Amino acid sequence: MAWIEVHNEVVDTEAEDWVLCFQDCTYHYNDGTTDTGYRFIWRRPDGSLQAACGQARIPDATTLYRLINDAVRAG
C-alpha cells in the first residue's frame, strides 16, 4: 500500500465532466520507502479523484514523452 503526495498537476482543460489529470507525485510506501514519478488519474465531476487498481507510476518525464510519442506513431 502507498499514499500519494501530489506536487504538481495539469488537467485536460477541454473536459466537461470527468477530467484527466497528470500529476507529479511522491509515492510513500508502508515500509518507509518512497518513489517519485508521475501518474494519470481521473477527477470526478464532484472534484474527487477516481483511485483505481492498476494505475501505473511513470518513473520520469523522458519515459512519459517516449510512451506518448510511441502511441502517436502507432496511431
Give yes or no for residue 53 having a pLDDT over 80: no
Coil, strand or helix: which one is 63?
Answer: helix
Beta pairing class for 19-29 and 34-43: antiparallel
Prediction pTM value: 0.72
Contacts 24+ apart (CB under 8 A), 40-48: 42/18, 43/11, 43/18, 43/19, 44/18, 45/17, 45/18
- What average pLDDT score do residues 28-46 get? 92
Interval 21-35: pLDDT, tens: 888 899 999 999 999
